[in-house]
Structure 1
Amino acid sequence: MKNKDRSFSYRATEESELLPLLLNIISNKSRNSIKSILARGQVSVDGQSITKHNYPVQAGQLVEIVDNRAAIGESSLSGISILFEDEDILVIEKEAGLLTVAGKDKSERTAYSELMNYVKQINPRNRIFIVHRLDRDTSGVLIFAKSEEVKKQLQDNWDDVVKERLYTALVEGNLKKEKGTIQSYLKETRTYKVYSNPTDNGGQLSITHFRKIRGNRQFTLVAVELETGRKNQIRVHMQDIGHPVVGDKKYGSTVNPIKRLGLHATALTILHPRTGEIMRFECEVPTSFVKKSL
């Protein structure tokens, strides 16, 4: 919970399971946010900390949402906002400019190092594990596991677990086509640049679906859904169709009015590794993308 969230109490007027009760009395928060509050142990019933969604609350019992050490830890995070957290996964919104995990410079601040410090403030034994990555200059939704078992489960079954990977891209030029699919084989060279080929060149088959949202003569805002998730896939495929991602000098962009890469991971829909529940995590498109496409 952010510091703006205030502790409060509520006396139950009828019998109900805890999660539906919280959804009813906390009208300004999403279902996922309330699940996070429960998982962090910030809810108590008659003074007893409760984390179970289906805990039976009786009429007359006192339900309290209390401050938690997680609130202190979260307030210290830089470049990261927590979208959801439970005992298995930690889902964040990463800002552009922050690496997912350290490269050559092991001392550089990363999403991984920030979150490792965060979970250890709650319990020194806590750890997090990398499930997938976003490029340094790509912002948006990123998921971590809270155990090696969950990490392996997510990675080994990634294609089945992930039901949607939606990005928003600001690209150069006025994209004439309203929607389409780009398919090619992508292969990375020793210089870490990815090349695209329409026929099998020994690379990985890569499929990207796109839909035009709006645009003008200079820029187009595009919704992009990944069928496959290869390194630099969207960036290379946008270059393939003659509309490179804004600010992506590596793959053909010549302008950068937004002072960052025009790529944002907008939404990720997964099957929860423990419950099997379909969960959708999303974050707003950067305002700079929207303004340039009007």
Structure 2
Amino acid sequence: MTYNSKQGMYTQYTVGEDAPLLEWLMANIQGMSRNKLKDILKGRGVKVNGKVVTQFDYPLLKGMTVSLSRSKKNDTFKNRFVKVVYEDRYLVVVEKNPGILSMAAGHKTLNVKAVLDDYFKTSRQRCTAHVVHRLDRDTSGLMVYAKDMETEMALERDWHNIVYDRRYVAVLSGEMVEDEGTIANWLKDNSAYITYSSPVDNGGKYAVTHFHVLDRTTEHSLVEFKLETGRKNQIRVHSADMGHPVCGDVKYGNGDDPIHRLCLHAYMLCFFHPVTRRRMEFETPIPAQFRMLFK
């Protein structure tokens, strides 16, 4: 059966025997190469029982309905604040722009969780986005959300072992002298919710940040940060501690705001998949606005 949807033309098939999705497509779809079928899968052109599936080894069962588009680009998720980088049945990895919260805070605030919940609903996925970690509203970059409670619990329970590399890049005010180093101290919030640091245990949380300078001018430094711990405002406080706060930081900065945004971007996220245990490695380019300051 062939039918039209707002995303294009689909041909519908009924599964006759259990098989992994790509294997089944290879055996049952005539005139298409393996690479073409993989491109259609990646391009969100395959639905199983009405739900978009991109997983090559998705287990098909006899009686299921498979809908196939002939196009490589289908059901493309578009939002000015959020880009889907990777998705499977258990989790979704997104890149968020500055200016959007990770989750709701108060009444009707723009947030990534709500954007994803709306996307899941429109793509007929019976799931909601479960928050696993957060980025500040004005920090951009990579985040992972679970699609069910079990995956969320698995990620939260063993976060520090599951995530094996997590890096940020920032534009700092002033010219850094050291090429690399480590900052370690205790971080604690005061009554006004400002995080401050202490060289001795102040009842707060121990925080360790490794830094490496990528580029510098007399006005600014482009710095990569690798987190050993993930504390609230860790990079922003540690940068200020070094005398080189993150540019555009109204909370811990010095007024240096060259591109009118907080110059902090989560550009690398590497973790073991909580269900399949596969290595998942994601990297986004350093924002062009950051780079422009060093040309």
CA contact (8 A) 1:41 1:51 kept: no
Counterpart mapping for 1:264-279 below 5 A? 264-279=265-280
Residue 155 (structure 1) aligned with residue 156 (structure 2): yes
Which residue does the alignment assign to 2:219? Answer: 218
Which residue does the alignment assign to 2:93? Answer: 91
SS in 2 for 1:251: coil
SS in 1 for 2:120: helix
Which residue does the alignment assign to 2:83? Answer: 81
SS in 2 for 1:290: helix
Q: TM-score, normalised by structure 1?
A: 0.80
Which residue does the alignment assign to 1:234? Answer: 235
Deviation at 1:253, TM superposition (A): 2.5
Counterpart-to-counterpart distance in 1, 2:213 and 2:9? 43
Letter of the 1:248 partner, please give it. D
1:117/1:190 CA distance change after superposition, 3 Å: same
Q: TM-score, normalised by structure 2?
A: 0.79
SS in 2 for 1:289: helix
Structure 1, 123-132 or 91-100: larger mean CA deviation: 123-132
Deviation at 1:263, TM superposition (A): 0.1
Which residue does the alignment assign to 1:11? Answer: none
Identity fraction in percent: 36
Counterpart mapping for 1:1-294 below 5 A? 18=22, 25=35, 37=43, 42=46, 51-53=55-57, 66=70, 71=75, 74-75=77-78, 77-104=79-106, 106-123=107-124, 125-294=126-295
1:123/1:245 CA distance change after superposition, 3 Å: same
Letter of the 1:240 partner, please give it. D
- Cα deviation 1:189-245 (Å, max 9, x = unaligned): 121110011111111000000000001000010011000000000000000111000
SS in 1 for 2:83: strand
Letter of the 2:57 partner, please give it. H
Deviation at 1:109, TM superposition (A): 1.6
CA contact (8 A) 2:45 2:75 kept: no
CA contact (8 A) 2:54 2:88 kept: no
1:236/1:223 CA distance change after superposition, 3 Å: same
1:174/1:97 CA distance change after superposition, 3 Å: same
1:138/1:110 CA distance change after superposition, 3 Å: same
Deviation at 1:23, TM superposition (A): 11
1:114/1:97 CA distance change after superposition, 3 Å: same
Bigger helix share: 1
CA contact (8 A) 2:45 2:73 kept: no
Deviation at 1:284, TM superposition (A): 1.3
Q: CA RMSD in A?
A: 3.4
SS in 1 for 2:257: coil
Counterpart-to-counterpart distance in 2, 1:262 and 1:150? 31
Deviation at 1:254, TM superposition (A): 1.6
Counterpart-to-counterpart distance in 2, 1:274 and 1:169? 32
Runs of at least 5 residues in structure 2 that lack an aligned partner in the other structure = 1-6, 11-20, 27-31, 60-67
